[in-house]
Structure 1
Amino acid sequence: MTHTQDVTAARETYEGFIRLIKISTPVIAVLAAFVVYLISR
């Protein structure tokens, strides 16, 4: 029983991490592009 709960908790943590990566990657890319634009001006 405990093993199933551990796997479920681990899966939820992993899915939350993947969701965070999916959201933060484009934001970081836009921010980096903006910084490169500012530097190149």
Structure 2
Amino acid sequence: MADHQHGTMDTTVQENVYSGFMTFVSRFCVAMIVLAVFLAIFAT
């Protein structure tokens, strides 16, 4: 079994996926807020 050394794993792929996920979630939340405001104004 290989010896694991803490801190030696390449995590660039995981960091890029997490960054993309957070960007998606942030934009989705902003879009939902804009949609809610739009519906509150025009759907009366």
Give your verdict on TM over 0.5: yes
Pairing 1:10–2:21 present: yes
Q: Give the unaligned 5+ runs of structure 1.
A: 34-41
Deviation at 1:22, TM superposition (A): 1.1
What TM-score comes out, normalization by structure 1 length? 0.70
- Which aligned segments of 4 or more residues in structure 1 are displaced greater than 2 angstroms? none
Q: Give the unaligned 5+ runs of structure 2.
A: 1-11
RMSD: 0.8
Question: Max radius of gyration: which structure?
Answer: 2
Q: Which has the higher helix share?
A: 1
What TM-score comes out, normalization by structure 2 length? 0.66
